[in-house]
């Protein structure tokens, strides 16, 4: 999607202007002059007047044709009519800065409905309502109602923020860090244009290098996921309002544990976005994205202080980075070139008694040139009263070296705050003022480097058998008690031999091979184990009949589709849960974690949007603490990791291809040394 007329219009209409000094629309016109907007600025208000040499008109009839952008700041009740008049005048882009819509309740929501209807009738795309406006330094667009000066270098970061206040905090941060601004949009209530539209537009914008989002909600989850995954630019997201957005009845373990924010987190991660928790992390992430791509996780650490070297090594270890030994040739070269002796000849490299400032950049270059080093972290602490002049030269040298070798040179410049603030304004090359922030940025850079391409392992699972659609449709609606096994069998999932027994008198023929598990199938036993509805290790027919009588006494009489399931016991292995649900915003979701009774106790799960690739399911297993069970612990046999990864992929495919399935739990799945067995399933269908 292209929003050229929204951020680079040739002419603008500001609606709601008056000569009064406290008029907010008046400030928009002043800001446009401050930003040196090169096009025509037209003003419309209730009374005729003049401002900055231009006329304030009172009628749309007096306006020329061809206006590209309207900025509306009048009372909410007037906005639908104003939008209609803009449409009749041929204006096709707008920013609605007025508040008083759905954020104020039912009456405001009705106004929004009317506004959207009018805008769509004219084909108008608009930002807001309830925003602070739009900025684009390169095109002279300063369409915000707060007083601002044009203090940003054009190009670099594009921001879309759901909160005007947080958005301005981002803007202050870009100024403080001397990072360029390409576009800024205060998205407000996101009635028309939302985060999906802005990511698509910014991704195609040649001035944008990094996309920064502040979101309190996500309007179209699946569409946002798709555009985020395909975006060619790094996207950093601060998503707040992390409580569960849609309260759903926890029919299944999957639904109970996949609260909305976990799904948001999984979607961002899976699509290759970078999620941060604070404005400071946002700025650190943006700085990391301005550096060359981090192509691996092998770091070289150089420090003037042994203590900071240790701190950096700890952060590197905690974040999972590697510190390969520096080659002897590199270390010996340092020793031959400089009179003073380097304290620690290793990685991290402690330069504690080397005070040759020219040497620092040479050592940095030598480390960046090493083929086994993907990035270098250099910690430089100095007193500004004594070492400022020489220390400052390190920043432009690091910038040239980083570009020359195509690797991130992570500078940590530690001094007094006035000195580092001045240093940031002197150079656009990003640096950090603490070791911790540097490693948070490195972690963000690594996540960017791990973003999969659209063809990276995206081969779908094998086609589901032909009988699956009929079997799913035959199950009806609501909770499915025993029929879930029929779906799994039709889909080719590994399930044990079993038989549903409703009465002992009517039981004819053989039971499945012994030993058996007897499991009650009843609407009164949602979770069988918790309700005492599972009896294991039944060695013969008599044992099963006794178990049937016990379960019938506890849960009978059995209704349609209910009874006792006689199921052959699975072989030894570890217990896992694989589940799926249909999120109202993001669509089908798949989950895997430690199963059986551990699922609620440990809450050790990994989530992805479905369908998933085998690469993604392997990553999911790698996230779990319980994945060690698959390697074999304390003498236990290892589990078939590939079989479990394949099952997760199959469940994702089933959820994706059959929208009738609302939730499903495969719990437990017994993962053997070879293969696995799904020993219990619950399915809920829409209706």
CATH of the domain at 124: 3.40.50.720
Distances (CA, A) of 211 to 263, 282, 438, 569: 21, 11, 20, 53
**Domain containing 540 — which CATH number?**
3.30.1490.20
What pLDDT shows up at residue 249? 38
Using the structure block, give the residue that is written with the tokens 């020793």: 335
- The domain total for the chain is 4
Decide if 469 is inside a domain. no
Residues 550 and 579 placed together within one structural domain of the fold: no
Q: Among 568, 593, 620, give the residue marking a domain's end.
A: 568
| Residue 190 within any structural domain of the chain | yes
**Separation between Cα atoms, residue 301 and residue 408, nearest integer Å:** 12
Whether residue 70 sits in one domain with residue 172:
yes
Does residue 546 sit in helix, strand or coil? Answer: helix
Residue 273 lies in a domain: no
Contact criterion met (CB below 8 Å) for 34 and 150? yes
- Indicate the residue among 568, 600, 615 that finishes a domain: 568
| 189 & 115 share domain | yes
CA gap 492, 277 in Å, rounded: 43
What is the reported pLDDT for 288?
Answer: 95
**HEC string for 555-596:** HCCCCCCCEEEEEECCCCCEEEEEEEEEECCCEEEEEEEECC
Instruction: Specify if 632 maps to a domain.
Output: yes
**502 & 409 share domain:** no
Whether residue 40 lies inside any domain: the answer is yes
Q: What is the CATH number of the domain that holds 601?
A: 3.30.470.20
Q: Please choose, from the candidates 5, 30, 270, the residue with its C-alpha nearest in 3D space to the C-alpha of residue 125.
A: 5
Q: Are strands 375-381 and 409-414 parallel, antiparallel or unpaired?
A: parallel
Is residue 434 located within the same domain as residue 541? no
In-domain check, residue 204: yes
E runs forming strands in 16-53 = 40-44, 49-51
Looking up residue 407, the CATH number of its domain turns out to be 3.40.50.261
Q: Looking at 568, 599, 618, which one is the last position of a domain?
A: 568
**Could you tell me if 155 and 138 are in contact, meaning their C-beta atoms sit under 8 angstroms apart?**
yes
- Does 103 share its domain with 189? yes
Kind plus residue range of the DSSP H or E element containing 181: strand 181-186
Q: Which domain holds residue 333?
A: 295-449
Model pLDDT, residue 685: 86
For position 181, what pLDDT does the model report? 97
| Residue 422 belongs to a domain | yes
Task: For residue 208, list its beta bridge partners.
Answer: 156
Instruction: Specify whether 639 is located in the same domain as 680.
Output: yes
Are 500 and 482 within 8 A, CB to CB?
Answer: yes
Separation CA 253–CA 256 (nearest Å): 5
| Residues 652 and 618 occupy one common structural domain | yes
pLDDT at 674: 95
Task: Tell me whether residue 481 is in a domain.
Answer: no
Beta partners for 677? 670
Backbone angles phi, psi at 195, to 5 degrees: -60, -30
In terms of domains, do 304 and 358 share one?
A: yes
Assign residue 632 a region: left if phi > 0, alpha if psi is -120 to 50, beta otherwise? left
C-alpha distances in angstroms, 552 versus 212, 497, 501, 514, 516? 60, 22, 11, 21, 17
Q: State whether residue 301 is helix, strand or coil.
A: strand
Query: Integer distance in angstroms from the first to the last C-alpha of the chain?
Result: 36
> Do 31 and 126 sit in the same domain of this protein?
yes
How far apart, in Å, are the Cα atoms of 185 and each of 34, 138, 213, 229, 258?
18, 14, 10, 21, 31
Whether 224 and 336 map to the same domain: the answer is no
Question: Among 50, 94, 49, which residue's Cα sits nearest to residue 74?
Answer: 94
Give me the residues of the chain with pLDDT under 70, please: 1, 243-259, 335-344, 452-463, 466-467, 469, 471, 473-482, 506, 508, 526-527, 596-602, 687
267/246 Cα distance (integer angstroms):
17
Summarize pLDDT for 212-227 with one digit per residue, the tens: 999 999 999 999 999 9
The three-class DSSP label of residue 606 is: strand
- Do 119 and 126 form a contact (C-beta atoms < 8 A)? yes
Query: Are 560 and 580 part of one and the same domain?
Result: no
Residue 446: CB partners within 8 Å, gap ≥ 6?
A: 294, 297, 321
């Amino acid at each position: 999607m292209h929003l050229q007329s929204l951020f680079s219009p040739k002419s603008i209409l500001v609606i709601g202007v008056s000569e009064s000094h406290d008029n907010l629309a008046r400030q928009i016109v002043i800001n446009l002059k401050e930003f040196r907007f090169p096009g025509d600025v037209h003003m419309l208000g209730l009374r005729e007047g003049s401002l900055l040499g231009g006329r304030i008109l009172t009628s749309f009839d007096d306006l020329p044709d061809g206006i590209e952008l309207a900025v509306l700041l009048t009372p909410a009740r007037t906005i639908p009519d104003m939008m209609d008049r803009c449409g009749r005048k041929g204006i096709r882009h707008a920013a609605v800065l007025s508040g008083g819509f759905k954020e104020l309740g039912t009456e405001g929501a009705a106004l929004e409905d009317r506004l959207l209807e009018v805008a769509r009738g004219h084909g108008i795309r608009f930002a807001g309502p309830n925003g602070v406006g739009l900025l684009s330094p390169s095109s002279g667009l300063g369409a915000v109602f707060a007083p601002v000066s044009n203090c940003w270098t054009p190009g670099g970061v594009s921001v879309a923020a759901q909160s005007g206040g947080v958005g301005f905090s981002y803007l202050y941060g870009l100024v403080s860090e001397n990072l360029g601004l390409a576009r800024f949009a205060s998205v407000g209530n996101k009635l028309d244009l939302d985060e999906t539209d802005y990511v698509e537009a910014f991704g195609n914008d040649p001035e944008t290098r990094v996309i920064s989002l502040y979101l309190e909600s996500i309007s179209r989850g699946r569409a946002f996921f798709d555009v985020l995954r395909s975006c060619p630019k790094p996207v950093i997201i601060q998503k707040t309002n992390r409580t569960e957005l849609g309260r759903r009845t926890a029919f299944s373990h999957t639904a109970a544990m996949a609260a909305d924010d976990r799904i948001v987190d999984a979607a961002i991660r899976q699509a290759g976005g970078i999620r941060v928790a604070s404005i400071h992390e946002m700025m650190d992430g943006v700085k990391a994205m301005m550096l060359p791509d981090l192509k691996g996780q092998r770091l070289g650490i150089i420090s003037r202080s042994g203590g900071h070297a240790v701190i950096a090594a700890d952060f590197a270890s905690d974040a999972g980075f590697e510190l390969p030994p520096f080659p002897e040739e590199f270390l010996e070269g340092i020793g031959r070139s400089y009179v003073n002796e380097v304290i620690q000849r290793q990685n991290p490299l402690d330069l504690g008694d080397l005070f040759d400032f020219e040497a620092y950049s040479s050592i940095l270059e030598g480390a960046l040139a090493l083929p086994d080093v993907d990035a270098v972290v250099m910690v430089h602490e100095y007193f500004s009263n004594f070492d400022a002049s020489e220390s400052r030269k390190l920043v432009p040298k690091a910038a040239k070296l980083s570009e020359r070798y195509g690797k991130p040179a992570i500078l940590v410049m530690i001094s007094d705050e006035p000195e580092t603030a001045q240093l940031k304004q002197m150079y656009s090359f990003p640096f950090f003022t603490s070791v911790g922030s540097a490693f948070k940025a490195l972690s963000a850079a690594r996540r960017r480097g791990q973003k999969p391409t659209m063809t990276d392992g995206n081969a779908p699972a094998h086609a589901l058998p032909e009988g699956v659609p009929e079997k799913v449709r035959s199950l009806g609606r609501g909770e499915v008690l025993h029929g879930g096994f029929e779906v799994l069998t039709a889909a080719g999932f590994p399930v044990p031999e079993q038989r549903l027994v409703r009465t002992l008198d009517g039981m004819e023929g053989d039971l499945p091979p012994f030993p058996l598990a007897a499991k009650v199938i009843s609407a009164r036993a949602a979770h069988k184990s918790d309700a005492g509805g599972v009896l294991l290790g039944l060695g013969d027919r008599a044992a099963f009949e006794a178990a049937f009588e016990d379960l019938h006494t506890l849960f009978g009489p059995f209704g349609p589709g209910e009874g006792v399931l006689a199921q052959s016991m699975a072989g030894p292995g570890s217990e896992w849960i694989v589940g799926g649900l249909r999120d109202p915003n993001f669509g089908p979701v798949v989950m895997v974690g430690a199963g059986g009774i551990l699922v609620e106790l440990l809450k050790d799960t990994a989530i992805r949007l479905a369908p998933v690739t085998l690469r993604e399911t392997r990553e999911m297993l790698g996230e779990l603490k319980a994945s060690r069970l698959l390697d074999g612990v304390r003498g236990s046999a290892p589990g078939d990791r590939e079989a479990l990864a394949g099952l997760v992929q199959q469940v994702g495919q089933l959820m994706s291809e059959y929208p009738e399935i609302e939730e499903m739990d495969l719990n437990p799945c017994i993962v053997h040394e070879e293969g696995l067995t799904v020993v219990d399933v619950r399915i809920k269908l829409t209706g």
